[in-house]
Amino acid sequence: MLNCLLFKASKHGFTASAFHQKCDRQGPTVTVAYNNSGYIFGAYISKDYAQTGQNIADDKAFLFSFNDHEADKSPLRVVSADANCSFQDVNTGPHYVSLAFLYDNTTVRSNPGTYNFDPVEMHGNDLKLIELEVYRVEGFGSLMEKPWRNIDWHLEKRKALMHEISRWTPSASMAQKARVLLVGAVGAGKSSFFNSVNSVFKGYVNCQANTGIAGTSLTTQFRAYSIKADGKFLPITLCDTMGLEEGVNAGLDIDDFTNILKGHIQDRYQFNQSVPIQEDSPYFCKTPTVKEKIHTVVYVMDTCKIKLISEKMIEKLAAFRKKANHMGIPQLVLLTKVDEACRTVAEDLKHIYQSHYIYKMMQEVSVRLGISLSAVVPVKNYSRELDLDPHIDILLLNAVLQIIRTAEAYFDDCSYQEE
């Protein structure tokens, strides 16, 4: 079973409205509450929250509890005594009749009801919450009957994709390559995407760009990476940047972003979080040509964290989108870590376009970023593998092909201007 965090009260707010915004219509969920007495308690339900105002029957639902003081004792598990009411689907916080979370913001209401338990056992009579989390539970065969996008998983398709990508040329004579800018939050997988695509064409797993887990961006320079295949460079350059961060003077600045789009910033420029690049910098190109400008922007996002994206980050992405739109630069979204977000996909990558959960996350990204669903593409980067996997390769190569096709919109405009 694999869980994906939907709601965290300390981040999203101890309110019923925040809970419903993140958790409605998400399928099976686990609610986990924490108090200062060391109790961890909550509930599992297999059905949606939908604010119907009705009592919901769920024969799989149960309450649970365990605590730090009795680590050697089996966790408490309680089912409803009323077959017709496992939880109340109302507009308050998670409401399991006998336990109502976020009853008064950070408190729990605990009353006798359909679940029979000893309050001391359940929560130690400490009804003040220090945290409340809700997880989407995967692993219950949540697959669509048919894939909603068709993808050819045969080995011959892998070769065909590599051939098509390596022999593609931009329609505009002023450029020989598509120059693609990767933008995303810290840890989303920008550098890993380059490493993964590079690995496919090298024939073995390779880590040229720095990757890892850190609180701040591991990428501190602007890097323009070329990829070789059979001794020749591919017609695509992947440009890596600092990760996006919420704080002031943290992460990629919109002025630096704009200068990158215009082709002013050259390879290996060291970002300064205090001030954007200055014209007197040796890495500032004053008169960039079309081949030095960005032809496509790709926003790289972690599928596991879609529900945790703050409004500040959405606002920052919206500002970046507006700037790129104003400059006529087409854009795409890559959703990474799909295997970590959905158990059925982890078990078989070919289920990627049958997973209800992945589809929901793609829809949410489309709505929140204001980008077409057709411009949202899921991928799995190489992260812990030591050898190439043909299914991972095919998903990556399909993403590269979509990036190239997206860049064609830019080159079509350039060709029109040349006439």
pLDDT band at 418 (very low <50, low <70, confident <90, very high): very low
Task: Give the domain ranges of the chain.
Answer: 2-138, 155-418
pTM exceeding the 0.85 threshold for the entire prediction: no
Please tell me the distance from the alpha carbon of residue 243 to that of residue 324, in angstroms, as a whole number.
Answer: 17
pLDDT band at 127 (very low <50, low <70, confident <90, very high): very high
Please tell me the distance from the alpha carbon of residue 154 to that of residue 391, in angstroms, as a whole number.
Answer: 8
Residue 225, Ramachandran bin (φ over 0: left; ψ between -120 and 50: alpha; else beta): beta
Mean predicted lDDT score pLDDT of the chain: 89
pLDDT of residue 248: 63
- The answer to whether 33 and 8 are in contact (CB under 8 A) is no
Question: What does the pLDDT look like over 325-377, one tens digit per residue?
Answer: 999 999 999 999 999 888 789 889 999 999 988 998 999 999 999 999 999 99
Instruction: Give the mean pLDDT of 306-334.
Output: 91
Q: Residue 112: helix, strand or coil by DSSP?
A: coil
Q: Which among 365, 368, 389 has a CA at the least distance from the CA of 377?
A: 365
Tokens of 150: 């068709």
Could you please report the per-residue DSSP string of 127-174? Answer: -BEEEEEEEEEE-S--B-SS-SS----SHHHHHHHHHHHHT---SSTT
- The answer to whether 337 and 345 are in contact (CB under 8 A) is no
- The answer to whether 78 and 61 are in contact (CB under 8 A) is no
Question: What does the pLDDT look like over 75-116, one tens digit per residue?
Answer: 899 999 999 999 999 999 999 999 999 998 899 999 888 999
Q: Enumerate the β-bridge partners of residue 229.
A: 232
pLDDT of residue 359: 92
Note the CATH number of domain 155-418: 3.40.50.300
pLDDT of residue 342: 85
Instruction: Give the mean pLDDT of 43-50.
Output: 92
Q: Which among 131, 94, 135, 133 has a CA at the least distance from the CA of 341?
A: 135
pLDDT of residue 214: 46
Question: What does the pLDDT look like over 214-229, one tens digit per residue?
Answer: 444 456 889 999 999 8
- Count how many residues are written for the chain: 419
pLDDT of residue 299: 97
Question: What does the pLDDT look like over 128-160, one tens digit per residue?
Answer: 999 999 998 865 446 788 999 999 999 999 999
**Beta-strand pair 39-45/232-240:** unpaired
Residue 312 has pLDDT above 90, yes or no: no
